[in-house]
Structure 1
Amino acid sequence: MLVSADSHVVEPPAVFRDYLDAEWRDQAPRLAPDHAGGERYVLPGTTRSIGLGLAGSAGTPGKELRESGTAFADIRPGAWQPGPRLEDQDADGVAAEVLYPTVGLFLLRHINRAYSAACMAAYNTWLAEFCAKAPDRLIGCGATAVTSPDSAVRDLRSIRGKGLKGALLPLEPAEGFYADERFDALWAAACDLALPITFHALPPDRRAPAAGPGAAVILPLWDAQELLTGLVFGGVLHRWPALRIVFAEFDAGWVPHLVQRLDHYFHRHHRWLKLDGRIHRPPSEYIARAVHFTFQDDPTALRLALHSQTNLLWASDFPHAESTWPASRSLASAGSELLPARLYDEFFSTRARSLYGI
């Protein structure tokens, strides 16, 4: 059976209406009508809103996809109810899923990090209750807004205490950079608690320099490359060898090329980049030991994995528009034709089981 290392819930309004601390409840994310007869999530404090059409459209043909015109009641119940979710897993041949938010991905980039932190705390409480209905199949990753290193450590302890199996972080902390040594307390806590840390592709908050509305699709890859380079050259993976990092929904065909370039700069430009004392081995060794990358339908990553040390984790992305549901079994079968049996089992099941203790 398959294990998806990156799937999602679509948070019902009750997550924020009922679980948010009282001081923030009047600013809870809420549903509002859209111009096409559906609903959108409105996020107070920002001009951004979230159409539900792409959030719960797994299995919809591409020509029928639309961002607007979908109400929450139109989304598959498995997006937010445990019982129907297990039925959706069975229909797709999936034994378990690692779960991330939908609305929460937008909230992680909210300009008010205190508000973001309150929403993430509410989400974590609800998610823990959701996953408790089938803890061997619904594998929750809690989230922290990383308002400070100390607050992030407290959040990780709370996440582990709720029985969640991983921690989702924003791509940037509220202040500074993750490579700063003042964040070592965060990495130490992740190691002590045996919590894999995930950086998930987030909705872009900057404009692509290229023209045209489609240019934004490449921005998440740049985010991932910049962040991974910082974690390596900043010495985070050197200082914390037990740390495990997951890059989710960035795909992975680009990884071997980036790793090759990082190794080149390590060997050729080590001195002027002032890497002495920060990293002692080629970047490829740190990444092969500590970093995992999810993929959905990425044959390039599968082919390159035969000649690289890329740690791949298959993901269905259910119930989002990118999801492979309900055809995940046929996609996995195609993967078995590209990979030896050992790597196939690792990428589609056993590596995720080991990482999250499934």
Structure 2
Amino acid sequence: MESIPRIISVDDHTVEPPHVWSDRLPAKFRDVGPRIVRAPVKEMTFVGGRFTPVMGDPGDGGPEADWWIYEDLHRPLTRLDTAVGYSRDDVRLEGITYEQMRPGSFSVPERLADMDRNHVQSALCFPTFPRFCGQTFTEAKDRELALLGVRAYNDWMVEEWCGPQAHGRLVPLCIVPLWDAGLAAAEVRRNAARGVRAVCFSEIPPHLGLPSVHTDAWDPFLRACAETRTVIAMHIGSSSRMPSTSADAPPAVGSVITFANCCFSLVDWLMSGAFERFPELHIMYAEGQIGWIPYVLERADVAWEQNRAWGGVADKVLRPPSELFAEHVHGCFFDDAFGLRSLDAIGAGNVLYETDYPHSDSTWPRSKEVAEQQMGHLPPDVIERIVRGNAIELLGLTEEGLWAHAAG
């Protein structure tokens, strides 16, 4: 028997191929919808948690990249989008073309081959150009086009990325029009009808100019997720603001504290009353790691017990936050030895494994070895739950860990 069963990764990424929107938008929008152009990189910085690229003119010379163009947005593909196969010392902030990335980033057959090499059976993939919760479309001016862009991405995700050639091994994760909770609910239901069980959401919606989870503004969306058993998946950076300490802090500072927004977000949800209103709701935090969770739960319980009378939650949070966490929340990690030593304080049923392919933090192609090193002290049944069993239950996969609704 394998010491580590075949992995189901709940946080990988797809780099969308150039045709996603040009093939699916109505003809009148194809020249203004998301499209790829090749152009020089004039300047690119990532300081204080903010990514700032500047596209040069074709005659400027210098290194070229493939850029997504959409309204006022000019977003290059970068080495950070797809770093697997490169030495960590060679992974720099630079623009790249499709030819310069590992084909598994955007090609289904190549992705499956790279999953085989990494002991991964199935994978749930977050977007790249739409960003981690589709905020690219939320920030757009033309709402009609933005809604079509959301739907086009979801159709591509379900029908092509997770279509017949994936053999059920790629699990769909959709986006929603965050600017309208009613439209978001409709998109959840549209995709749930074809077997989708996960949807992206922002870890801290007010950072995107949207209502917080302490309001009832999201109730149509939350109700749709609860009724369809669609998991709300929040990736680090899904509030378009990576944690940092100062405007001049180097990216390494943010790399250490990437979990911080997950921490803040978790407290928001635990104190929001959402789990009381929607008992079937489940949320998960992608790439946030898990070692920070025990103290936050301890502190949340103390604050709830001692301060709820004046803290504004007595009438809506009726049980200790740690109980709500146990029933509704799932933390995801790819490299967290400390968190695994603290598993009893988190809950083996609340932890999922990921590989983060093809990002610079990815453990590919050593995800199995990392798991063996960090989970060696755990009994086999607990290891099985973490690396695949919990994902099967949460995402409604088959007993074999596959997406049952893959066409063909």
Q: Are positions 1:347 and 2:386 aligned together?
A: yes
CA RMSD of aligned residues (A): 2.3
By how many angstroms is 1:228 displaced? 1.7
Match of 2:119 in 1: 93
Q: 1:189-200 counterparts in 2 under 5 A?
A: 189-200=224-235
Distance 2:308 2:191 in 1: 38
By how many angstroms is 1:335 displaced? 2.7
Report how many aligned residue pairs link the two structures: 358
Instruction: Give the letter for the 1:256 counterpart.
Output: P
Consecutive unaligned residues of structure 1, counting only runs of 5 or more, are none
Match of 1:55 in 2: 81
Structure 1 range deviating more: 180-189 or 292-301: 180-189
Q: Are positions 1:71 and 2:97 aligned together?
A: yes
By how many angstroms is 1:175 displaced? 3.4
By how many angstroms is 1:6 displaced? 0.8
Identity of aligned residues (%): 24
SS of the residue corresponding to residue 20 of structure 1 reads: coil
Match of 2:338 in 1: 300
Conserved? CA contact 2:199–2:230, under 8 Å: yes
By how many angstroms is 1:274 displaced? 2.2
Match of 1:253 in 2: 291
By how many angstroms is 1:291 displaced? 0.5
Structure 1 range deviating more: 223-232 or 311-320: 223-232
SS of the residue corresponding to residue 104 of structure 1 reads: coil
Bigger helix fraction: 1
Residues 194 and 42 (structure 1), Cα distance of their counterparts in 2 relative to 1, 3 Å cut: same
Match of 2:244 in 1: 208
Conserved? CA contact 2:293–2:346, under 8 Å: no
Q: 1:218-229 counterparts in 2 under 5 A?
A: 220-229=258-267
Q: TM-score, normalised by structure 2?
A: 0.81
By how many angstroms is 1:47 displaced? 5.6
Distance 2:95 2:330 in 1: 36
Distance 1:253 1:118 in 2: 39
By how many angstroms is 1:191 displaced? 1.6
SS of the residue corresponding to residue 142 of structure 1 reads: coil
Instruction: Give the letter for the 2:244 counterpart.
Output: A
Distance 1:192 1:44 in 2: 34
Residues 209 and 117 (structure 1), Cα distance of their counterparts in 2 relative to 1, 3 Å cut: farther
By how many angstroms is 1:305 displaced? 1.1
Conserved? CA contact 1:306–1:339, under 8 Å: no
Deviations 1:73-124 (A, max 9, x none): 2222222222222111111111111121111216733322736544322211
Conserved? CA contact 1:54–1:66, under 8 Å: yes
Distance 1:123 1:264 in 2: 43
Q: TM-score, normalised by structure 1?
A: 0.92
By how many angstroms is 1:283 displaced? 0.3
Q: Are positions 1:131 and 2:162 aligned together?
A: yes
Deviations 1:14-44 (A, max 9, x none): 1122223445431414243333534143343
Q: Are positions 1:3 and 2:33 aligned together?
A: no
SS of the residue corresponding to residue 234 of structure 1 reads: coil
Please point out which of 125, 130, 153 is paired with 1:104.
130
Distance 1:17 1:81 in 2: 17
By how many angstroms is 1:54 displaced? 1.6
Please point out which of 11, 30, 34 is paired with 1:28.
34
Deviations 1:271-293 (A, max 9, x none): 01021220111000001111111
SS of the residue corresponding to residue 7 of structure 1 reads: strand
Distance 2:243 2:372 in 1: 38
Distance 1:247 1:120 in 2: 22
SS of the residue corresponding to residue 54 of structure 1 reads: coil
Instruction: Give the letter for the 2:158 counterpart.
Output: A
Residues 243 and 177 (structure 1), Cα distance of their counterparts in 2 relative to 1, 3 Å cut: same
Match of 1:150 in 2: 182
Deviations 1:305-333 (A, max 9, x none): 13333611110011111111111111111
